[in-house]
Amino acid sequence: MKKGGMMMRHSVKLVLVVLAVAVLIAGCGPKPNVLGKAGKYQITVEDLDKLVGPRVFRSYEDELNVKKQAVQRALEEKLILTAAYNEGYDTLPEVKQFVESNKKSRLLQALYDIEIVKNAKDIPESEVKSAYEMMKEEINAAHILVDSKELADSIYKMLKNGASFEELAAKYSLDRGTKDRGGDLGWFTAFTMDPDFEKAAFALNPGQFSEPVKTRFGWHIIMVKGKRKNPNLKTFEEEKERITDLLRRKKQRELVDKFLENLKNEANIQFNPDAVKIVLRELSTLPPPEKYMQPNAPQPKGPQYTDEEKSMKLCTWKGGSWTIAQFDSAFNTIPPFRRGKYTNEEQLKDLIFAMLQPTLLEQKALEMGVDKSEEYNDYLKRDLERRMIDIYKRKIMDVNITDEMVRKYYEENKDSFMTPATIKAIEIQVATEDEAKKLIDRIKKGEDAKELAKKYTLRTYVKDRGGELELTERRYPELYRAAQQINPGDVYPVPIPFQGKYSVIKVIEKIPPQPRPFERVARIVRSRLRVKLRNKAYKDWIEKAKKKYGFKIYEKNIAKTIDKSKYEGKEEEKPKTPAS
């Protein structure tokens, strides 16, 4: 009995030991959201989502390969970062200078994240469903866009008196994309236009036009031409993600507008009426911005103020002021083709507020303590580490190439530096198939193809040399493929459709590929050798770093991030070949 009890106690102990080891082993495995490790760093599912972003994959295998490659690249960068920190790259002047130069923009990005992105993150499903119902209908509308309420009111009166909407759009609308077609915007659903514009448009019945509507683009008069059921709307589940994203971006725009309006009120911008008139006098003389959208357009002369006018105070705000000279200096940094049309005080004040926004936003961010926030410091850390990686990677891939190495690479890889197979031929290009057939018969009966080309070919740049062309797979591919099928001295038996016309060809000579002279390709050889050596240096360094710091990819965890069911019943889309 004692012996049996002892055996039982030993068995229990053994079971406990086995269980403890099993737990220990399980605890040492990767967490489900960890996809790989490099040194002390790890890549998580959240990191992968940012790396890959929203995209469409051809198949399960395609998605898996893309994600594995993304994790691989990210982990390799972590190896480089580890080495860079170990060697003090975070203290390099070049790195510090890069971080410093981006601080202002990162401050504003952090402000945007805190005030806009965070507050627009969650969209209730009830709102998504409501939006889906609204998107079941779409409308066809037209608009007339102008820059002042006075002109909009005037056009509205003309419409009330029976004027043609299309004619008024052609005459007055500032929307260059729609004015020539009567202001027609085509068919659209809710949540695709400016919210104020949409609110007015969807309230109208077909044939009705709105009173002037103010948006950030100017003043609109809207006419609804038709309404119908949305033919492209899918099921709610299929549309849910897209609509959620639309609503999130809509909410972000609303939050931005509200934030800027509060910023404008807080800034309390005060204008000097006399200075405003002087600035408007000069801005109204500037040519319209579309004049400078043409290639090689001349640069316009800027506003011409007197010295006395330049010294006048134009505006003041909480924390600063501008003279006309300071405004002019800032205005001249705006590319001419990006400038608007400024004919009244409202437009000028909107312009000045837009120009002051970066300064006012920076002041506001500092007041709110954004420079102490986690978001801001994350941006700075990313900039720091991105620059460290870039500089260290340059060091890894810095290779020394001598002329002897270039020559040797050329000699060992001559097949990579060959001229293409070339066929010298005489081509006669004509407009019709019948003309081409007659020319083929004449050449077969012994007439000189060169002389016929000089007389008949429509390809003017070879007319003087009797239609002589050098055909390759890349240059004139259709003619080259036809010429491959016949021998030197022969004419291709049928007309060849090419570039909307018909070609007759007679082969003169076939020249096989030949090595290009070293002197002519030395720069290309050096470039290819550099790429090869840089890639080898990078791969060699990565392999050593993997052993030194540790490196592991958890492919099973990557596979778990993919919903296999969405590919069930779908065949992998294969790349199309030229023949297909």
For residue range 458-508, list pLDDT tens digits in order.
999 999 999 999 999 999 999 999 999 999 999 999 999 988 899 999 999
pLDDT higher than 60, residue 574: no
pLDDT at 579 over 50: no
Which residue type does 357 have?
A: Q
List, for residues 73-92, the tens digit of each pLDDT value.
Answer: 999 999 999 999 999 999 99
Please give the C-alpha separations between residue 38 and each of 73, 75, 241, 444, 543, in angstroms, as whole numbers: 11, 6, 34, 73, 12
pLDDT over threshold 80, residue 166: yes
Contacts of 81 (CB under 8 A, 6+ apart): 41, 385, 388, 389, 392
Report for 11-25, 40-54, 276-290: range of highest mean pLDDT: 40-54
Instruction: Give backbone dihedrals phi and psi of 339, rounded to 5 degrees, phi first.
Output: -80, 150
Residue for token pair 């507008």: 257
β-sheet bridge partners, residue 144: 221
DSSP code of residue 328: H
Paired tokens of 517: 């002279």
pLDDT (0 to 100) of residue 168: 95
Helix (H, G, I), strand (E, B), or coil: what is residue 116?
helix
CA distance to 104, 274, 327, 352, per residue, from 321 (Å): 20, 16, 10, 11
Crossing angle of helices 103-112 and 345-367, rounded to 10°:
90
Confidence of residue 295 (pLDDT cuts 50, 70, 90): low
Q: If pLDDT is split at 50, 70 and 90, which confidence band does 163 have? A: very high
Per the model's pLDDT, the better-predicted residue between 3 and 268 turns out to be 268
Longest pairwise C-alpha distance within the chain: 120
pLDDT tens profile 498-548: 888 999 999 999 999 999 999 999 999 999 999 999 999 999 999 999 999
What does the H/E/C string look like for 142-190? EEEEECCHHHHHHHHHHHHCCCCHHHHHHHHCCCCCCHHHCCEEEEEEC
Task: Look at residue 13 in the predicted model and tell me its pLDDT.
Answer: 52
| Contacts for 290 with CB less than 8 Å, ≥ 6 apart | 176, 337
Backbone phi, psi, residue 230, to 5°: -65, 110
pLDDT beyond 80 at 8: no
- The architecture of the domain spanning 419-511 is Roll (3.10)
| Per-residue pLDDT at 36 exceeds 90 | yes
Above pLDDT 90, what percent of the chain? 79
Domain 137-232 coded CATH 3.10.50.40: yes
Q: Is the pLDDT at 23 greater than 70, yes or no?
A: no
% of the chain with per-residue pLDDT over 70? 91
d(C-alpha 148, C-alpha 156), whole Å: 12
pLDDT of residue 517: 95
Residues of the chain with CATH 3.10.50.40: 137-232, 419-511
pLDDT band at residue 575 under the 50/70/90 scheme: very low
> What is the pLDDT averaged over residues 447-452?
95
Residue 443 tokens read as 């050449």
- Using only C-alpha atoms, the chain has a radius of gyration, in whole angstroms, of 35
State mean pLDDT over 358-375. 95
**What is residue 12's predicted lDDT score, i.e. its pLDDT?**
46
Q: Are 467 and 427 in contact, with CB atoms under 8 Å apart?
A: yes
Entry pTM: 0.74
Residue with tokens 């068919």: 187
**pLDDT at residue number 302:** 74
Name the more confident of 335 and 260: 260
pLDDT recorded at residue 411 = 95
Residue 254 corresponds to which amino acid?
E
Q: What average pLDDT does the structure give for the chain?
A: 90
Neighbouring residues of 42: CB distance < 8 A, sequence distance ≥ 6: 34, 35, 36
14 vs 302, residue with greater confidence = 302
Q: Read off the pLDDT of each residue in 224-231 and give the average, rounded to a whole number.
A: 95
Alpha helices in 223-305, H assignment, sequence order: 236-267, 273-283
Angle between helices 60-86 and 374-396 (to 10 degrees): 90
User: How does residue 26 score in pLDDT terms, banded at 50, 70 and 90?
Assistant: very low
